[in-house]
Amino acid sequence: MQLVTTRHQGSATMPILQNLTYEKKASIAYVTINRPKFLNALSFATMVEIRSVMEDARADDAIRGVIITGAGDKAFAAGADITEIASISAVEAETFTRSGQAALDAIEHLGKPVVAAVNGLALGGGCEIALACTLRLATENAKFGQPEVKLGVIPGFGGTQRLPRLVGKGRALQIILTAEAIDAQEAHRIGLVNEVVRADRLMVRAEEILDRIAANSPLAVRLAMRAVHCGLDSDQAEGLSLESAYFSVCASSEDKREGTSAFLEKRAPRFIAR
């Protein structure tokens, strides 16, 4: 793919990035946590930057999906920056977790698919970033875990909420309470990971999935994701009502007219997200 923009350093709408690289190629935005000497540990500043690039990706109509990965070949993100956690006060801790939660909410509710390309350790906050993504791909050497109880704290970026929703209460509690990491194959078996791929195929496969999604109606993709997210936080009756409402919105859209016409005319659709 041809590089369209890179890093966005000095952008008028975004602060200079110190802990991430942010690139756009065609319809995909690439976010790389770039602290390899620290196994891409997540400082307060890193979480602020993640939220900033997610807001940029949301606002850019040319971007149809995002890939998040880690620099180097050892870690996706090996948790929070322990040097910050060690000296944090209760008031500062709440600010820290709220900032991290806001960043991960920006990922989960982007309105565009986000793929976590997990290329190594995804522990603590790194695991929580992966949980907030739409889909998770992992290399064979990836490991996942929530080791916070070893440090005398609990997951603070949504791990106690997203992990049980994804893998079930019992499995989530075992991962959180034992603080033991699981490998990629076990993560795949319990539904935490969508696919395990070779390291040299990780980014290629993530791009393939996003390209496949991008061929569909952006409006329908956005509303389908919203229906799933909102439905998980309500009972089934409320979820079905929401699904019906979003189906009706899609049914009155130009994308529906184009999609059905293209199907009947046996041609590729040209969606316009309206």
Q: How far is it, in rounded angstroms, from Cα 137 to Cα 210?
A: 12
Residues in the chain: 274
Q: How far is it, in rounded angstroms, from Cα 269 to Cα 271?
A: 6
Please give the C-alpha separations between residue 50 and each of 46, 108, 113, in angstroms, as whole numbers.
Answer: 6, 12, 16
CB 148 within 8 A of CB 155: yes
CB 199 within 8 A of CB 119: yes
Candidate list 55, 92, 128, 180, residue with the active-site label: 128
Of 123, 128, 133, the residue nearest 195 (C-alpha): 133
Candidate list 23, 108, 148, 186, residue with the active-site label: 148
Name every residue whose Cβ is closer than 8 Å to that of residue 145 and which is 6 or more positions away in sequence: 122, 123, 124, 127, 175, 179, 180, 181, 182
Q: How far is it, in rounded angstroms, from Cα 219 to Cα 36?
A: 37
CB 100 within 8 A of CB 127: no
Q: How far is it, in rounded angstroms, from Cα 274 to Cα 260?
A: 14
148 is catalytic: yes
243 is catalytic: no
Q: Quick one: how far is CA 5 from the chain centroid?
A: 21
Catalytic residues: 128, 148
